[in-house]
Chain A
Amino acid sequence: MPEPLLVVEDLSIDYEVGAGTFHAVKEVSFRIDPGRVVGIVGETGCGKSTLAHAIPRLLPEPPARIPSGKILFRGMDILKVPKWKLPLVRGTGISMIFQEPINSLNPAFRVFDQLAEAVRIRRLRETGKSPGLAPAMEGFDYSKRKVPKPGDVLAKPVLPSVPEGRKLAPAVDRQALRGDALEYLRLVRINDPETILGLYPHELSGGMRQRIMIAMALSERPSLLIADEPTSALDITIQAQVLTLMKELIEEIRTSILFISHDLGVIAEMADDVGVMYAGHLVEFGPVAEVYTQPRHPYTKALLRANPRQYKGDGPLPSLPGSVPNLSRLPPGCTFHPRCALARPECREPPGPRLEPVSGSPGHRTACYFSEEVATLP
């Protein structure tokens, strides 16, 4: 088994807000191996975005608080890194793409300035002038690169070419920064990168901005890329374009990705592994194909059944009874028991079920006492 890139162990995150404590994330454990794309899926407010923000320590503390757990990134516990050293982990170590491209680029600076900033940091780290705690990836694995189809509307992908052993230009060389910025804009299939570099974010469309965000995140050559619902705020057609692009890039650049989404379909397309979250708990985790075909948690099953794409017109679209519990007053035991068809008295006993491997399929884990019976549910 390869050395894992990221291990999250028993991570809990609380929000201390006014009257009470909200358990946004509760004892979540999973791992990401190099080159894997891990998707996290769940409803709004299930804690998936909080989880994504917590890994690079992006949550404002307070109100957020991490009472327990470990986030081991390349064997280093990020929760123990002092605050001032965090920038050294971010960037070349962990990079991130956000939900709303309208807000994720700084409106006051040109695209070039923002892109060059990222490239510059990576170069400084590579040349050892400002070594990060987590070095950049050692070049991309191009072996699986797709050959662009002829007549592709978008510009042909041009590879960021940093041959091994090539001496890097000085980190502050503006020409070099510009060259790098252009390369990465081409990588995300931007037709006219020269012009785009001189524009301000408000002069670009949403899809374009998200492409630039992706270029910016990739230009740091991060070993882990976190994508927090990168397409949710886009138009449906643009969404498809950006997803296609990301899918191609995943094939080209085998960087590890943590992909957050509420869309089961998107996760199915993008991810190798999937984790399902409910009310702050990771209730199931495993390879996408397995989780989707043989869900071992009643919530996953219900989620899959509620997908309109699988709806065949036979009666009303199935929906779960009840509603998501209040995060400050979670039900005892298994948080899902009030809405679960399989619930028995022991489901109410604290502590609830922990994520346990499913018998017969390594890598597939679920937090349900009756995982064998899930298949019998309608």
Chain B
Amino acid sequence: MGRSRGDLIVFVGKRLLTLLPVLLGVVTITFIFTHLAVPNPCNVWSGPRATQSTIQQCIVNNDLDKPIFNQYASYLGKLVVGEWGASPRGVPVLPSILAAFPQTLELVLAALVLMVVIGIPLGVIAASNSGRWLDHIVRTFYLSGWATPTYLAAAVLSIAVGPLLGLPRNGAFTSTVPPFPQPFHMSVLDALVALNFSGVVDAIAHLILPASALAFVNMGIATRMTRGSMLEVLPMDYVKTARMKGISDFFVLYKHALRNSLISTVTVIGTTMGGILSTLVVIEEIFLWPGLGSYAYEAITKYNFNGTIGAVIFFAIGVVVANLIADFVYGVLDPRVEWR
């Protein structure tokens, strides 16, 4: 094992292979909970005024009369070949998710950019002023972000801050159907591709509030970790060496010290990706963001089993890939790491 490109490919390949059993487990668990816990969803699916025959029809259509194991096996078989089924109303699952997932990705990326661009320098500032008032302010800030329930932060942003700043607070566009095609399902990117610059502004304006909410409640992770590891790195001799070379304080902090403390920050951001995606559900729901979180919430509350499993699969892929990316960045940042 080493650090050559071949080693990296093997490493990524191995990690992607472990994704398969994880996905199988995720599907199985979700299947059990949806199908065992709700013995007869057709009563809900068919609506309150359904006749006995329509319910019976529904049961037959959905294989609910067969043993649970057979249901599971046939579902799994269809899943593998890409037939992810449809919602009770007949909307196919996979296209809906494929349209929702990029929107979520856009939101998460925007929040990550905010977390990195604001959160990490804040951590550096706090650490380099450790024990002084600047440090206390930063610590108060990230502690309050961490202690504020997501829904409260989102509600305050949506109801109080949004109107104050004149920012739109619902959805990804002013109208539900944007005046340009959406090949990527990422509002800003689509508007850019369509060269519709008022659209770009509009999309970014819609992105600000949900992304800030997501970033604010998760900012603590980046800031706290950066501050902590900077405090460990700053007394190291190599920081003194850098200072003694005559480098300015800025480069000592942001080149020599931060480079080493980022190693642990990246790992923590990667491992807390699950938590970040969790808060996403609430935030998308509050800001009516047309992403995977809203989709999952709707699927769960409306007993849309196929939709639930599909959304959960995408969430799981998101978590695993985020961890993989974190490990990759970790390896890039730390030359001592070998790909294995």
Contact = CB atoms under 8 A, between A and B. Distances in A.
A121 interface: yes
A88 B242 contact: no
Contacts of B62: none
A56 B244 contact: yes
A118 B335 contact: no
A154 B115 CA distance: 51
A91 B246 contact: yes
Given A84-B249, A103-B238, A108-B334, A96 B260 contact: no
B24 interface: no
B241 A90 contact: no
Interface residues of A, number: 40
Nearest to B333: A108
Interface string B20-46: 000000000000000000000000000
A296 to B, nearest CB: 34
A121 B247 CA distance: 8
B336 A95 contact: no
B75 to A, nearest CB: 48
A94 B243 CA distance: 11
Nearest to B336: A202
A107 B245 contact: no
B249 A87 contact: yes
Nearest to B239: A106
A117 interface: yes
A105 B238 contact: yes
A220 interface: yes
Contacts of B82: none
A279 interface: no
Q: Which of B131, B245, B334 has the most chain A CB within a 10 Å cutoff?
A: B245
A292 to B, nearest CB: 30
B336 A213 contact: no
A33 interface: no
A96 B240 contact: yes
Nearest to A115: B245
Q: Which of B238, B242, B244, B333 has the most chain A CB within a 10 Å cutoff?
A: B244
B259 interface: yes
Interface string B243-261: 1111111000000100110
A83 B249 CA distance: 9
A91 B242 CA distance: 9
Given A91-B246, A118-B245, A121-B245, A98 B260 contact: no
Contact of B335 (A96, A107, A216): A107
Given A107-B336, A108-B333, A216 B245 contact: yes
Nearest to A58: B240
B244 A202 contact: no
B244 A90 contact: yes
Given A60-B235, A62-B131, A200-B335, A104 B241 contact: yes
B236 interface: yes
Interface string A103-129: 111111110001001100100010000
Contacts of B249: 83-84, 87
Interface residues of B, number: 22
A108 B260 contact: yes
A100 B238 CA distance: 10
A87 B247 contact: yes
B82 to A, nearest CB: 44
Q: Which of B240, B246, B333 has the most chain A CB within a 10 Å cutoff?
A: B246
Given A87-B249, A200-B336, A202-B336, A106 B243 contact: no
Given A107-B260, A108-B335, A202-B336, A98 B241 contact: yes
Contacts of B235: 60
B238 A104 contact: yes
A213 B260 CA distance: 19
Contacts of B248: 84, 87
Contact of B241 (A60, A92, A121, A216): A216
A42 interface: no
Given A100-B237, A106-B238, A108-B260, A91 B335 contact: no
B245 A90 contact: yes
Contacts of B245: 90-91, 95, 117-118, 121, 216, 220
B335 A106 contact: no
Contacts of A371: none
B243 A107 contact: no
Interface string B88-132: 000000000000000000000000000000000000000000010
Contact of A121 (B238, B246, B256, B259): B246
A99 interface: yes
Contacts of A96: 240-241, 244
Interface of A: 53, 56, 58, 60, 62, 83-84, 87-96, 98-100, 103-110, 114, 117-118, 121, 125, 132, 200, 202, 213, 216-217, 220
23 contacts: A58-B240, A62-B131, A84-B249, A88-B246, A90-B243, A90-B245, A91-B244, A99-B237, A103-B238, A106-B241, A107-B260, A107-B334, A108-B335, A114-B241, A118-B245, A118-B246, A121-B245, A121-B247, A132-B246, A213-B241, A216-B241, A217-B244, A220-B245
The 7 closest A-B CB pairs, nearest first, are: A91-B246, A104-B237, A103-B237, A106-B238, A96-B244, A200-B335, A98-B237
Given A87-B247, A118-B245, 12 more contacts: A84-B248, A87-B246, A91-B247, A96-B244, A106-B260, A107-B260, A107-B334, A108-B260, A110-B335, A121-B245, A125-B246, A200-B336
